[in-house]
Amino acid sequence: MSAADAGTTAGASRHANGELREADRAAAPAETTPARIGVIGAGYVGLVTGVCLASLGNQVTLRDIDEGKVSALERGDVPIYEPGLDTLMADHRERLTYTLSLDHMLEQSDIVFIAVDTPPTYSGDADLSRVMTVLDELEATGADDRHILVMKSTVPVGTGERVRAELEARGLGKVGYASNPEFLKEGAAIEDFLAPDRVVVGDFEPQHGDAVEALYAPLEARVVRTSVPSAEMVKYASNAFLATKISFINEIANVCEEVGADVAVVAEGMGLDRRIGPAFLRAGVGFGGSCFPKDVTALKQLAGNSGYHFQLLTSVIEVNELQKRRVVNKLKKHLDTLEGRRVALLGLAFKPETDDMREASSLVLAARLMAEGTRVVAYDPVVTHPGDLVHGVLDAESVEAAVAGADAAVLVTEWTSIVESDWAALRETMSTPILIDGRNALDPAQMRDLGYVYEGIGRNGR
């Protein structure tokens, strides 16, 4: 039993079963004394976390091992595309320090967030080697009982227990530990951090969880206090559930195509049921990104490693893989053969407002089309040089350049600038006006009126 499950802490209430407890909003202090915070890993999550915590008045030292990244940050350059991050970083630069030195970071901080990568390994398990390297470094530099490690990275359930054992083995048993998973959506990460649906804090010793909870007090967010394994599981279960919703609506879309129904209307009708809710019911060419595919696979693997076959998640993953390829058959239906045809891919990033290409559906689609002998021309407002990602894909500088002379166009990522294109003018430049809307972002009737052979995902009924 963990300390978090065992008893009560001053100023906070626990559920009778001792497991989940939600801190009373009203009891949360409106303001807290600024904390000295360290962040290990100035990647996407680390940077957003550090900058947002600095914006709440804390002193933040971000440490990364990449010299180029650290000097870019010192110059005020933001190495990732995330709306609002550059401004927030500039506004609070006096509270932000960037360093290569872990020693320096430890001197300057009491609460240390770990935000290193936990990429999937070949087996589908999460790779914890970077987390373990951090522990080795902490041993070498001498972290002490003043420090509380806070796991922000998504890690398999059981990692906290393992880290605690590793700390003890290294003579660092007095270093505190808490789990505080991130729920940041790329493109809306600042808002997600500063106005979260919930903050989850798991601890072994309540005083460590209290220190982490206090950081979020200015946000007046709902805080779920629990054990470390439960906090770790909340993150995986949330992402797996959202991914399940997407694969579910994608399968409904595929059935809609068979029976002549329109998935957009079906999703709207379903979403009005408050038990279901309207979010994450947009059918399309599948989910991608750095979190969903990795976390769903890791949870499936975690279950498998403990002897449980997670059947539902196995299907969620398979449905998503097949969904990315369905557009190829739609194109074949209209073009007969894809060999030698010119196909424009509009949007490449795994979703709008990001330059992230990790697990993007466009990668699978482009590679499949290239394998069919298709000439693929791609445009994305932020991602350039698609040929570096899938060999042979041609780079277009605009929607117009991508579509000119094309036998078909596929809307892959629903960037506003692409959705709001002059579709009437584009149609005139195409060889054949076949338009596959992989995100159901366009109005089918309007596109057909403009003379397109339009096909969405699951929208045959309209």
What residues make contact with ligand UDX under the rule CB under 6 A? 182-186, 239, 242, 246, 280-282, 284, 287-289, 291-292, 350-351
How many CB atoms are located within 10 Å of the residue 68 CB?
9
Minimum CB separation from ligand UDX for residue 6, in Å?
29
Structure tokens at 305: 């490693």
Decide whether 186 or 380 has the Cβ nearer to ligand UDX.
Answer: 186
Q: Where are the alpha helices (DSSP H) in 336-457?
A: 361-371, 399-403, 416-419, 423-429, 444-449
Minimum CB separation from ligand UDX for residue 78, in Å?
17
Decide whether 106 or 184 has the Cβ nearer to ligand UDX.
Answer: 184
Minimum CB separation from ligand UDX for residue 136, in Å?
27
Decide whether 239 or 297 has the Cβ nearer to ligand UDX.
Answer: 239
Spatial contact of 411 and 346, defined as CB atoms under 8 Å apart: yes
- Gyration radius (Cα) of the chain, Å: 24
3-state secondary structure 283-327: CCCCCCCCCHHHHHHHHHHHHHHCCCCCHHHHHHHHHHHHHHHHH
Minimum CB separation from ligand UDX for residue 27, in Å?
27
Decide whether 280 or 310 has the Cβ nearer to ligand UDX.
Answer: 280
397 by Cβ neighbours in 10 Å (0-12 / 13-18 / 19+) ranks as exposed
Minimum CB separation from ligand UDX for residue 103, in Å?
31
Q: Which of 114, 291, 343, 365 is catalytic?
A: 291
Minimum CB separation from ligand UDX for residue 141, in Å?
30
Decide whether 159 or 239 has the Cβ nearer to ligand UDX.
Answer: 239
The span from the CA of 330 to the CA of 326, in Å, is 7
Q: How far out from the chain centre does Cα 258 lie?
A: 32
Q: Phi and psi for 344 in degrees, rounded to 5?
A: -95, 130
Strand order in the sheet with 223-226: 21-22, 223-226, 199-203, 176-179, 148-151, 111-114, 36-40, 59-63, 96-99
Element (H, E) at 436: strand 434-437
Minimum CB separation from ligand UDX for residue 188, in Å?
7
Determine whether 291 is an active site residue. yes
Q: How far out from the chain centre does Cα 145 lie?
A: 33
Decide whether 4 or 291 has the Cβ nearer to ligand UDX.
Answer: 291
Decide whether 2 or 153 has the Cβ nearer to ligand UDX.
Answer: 153
Secondary structure of residue 14 in the 3-state scheme: coil
- 238-441-242 Cα angle (round to 5): 5
Instruction: Return the active site residues.
Output: 291
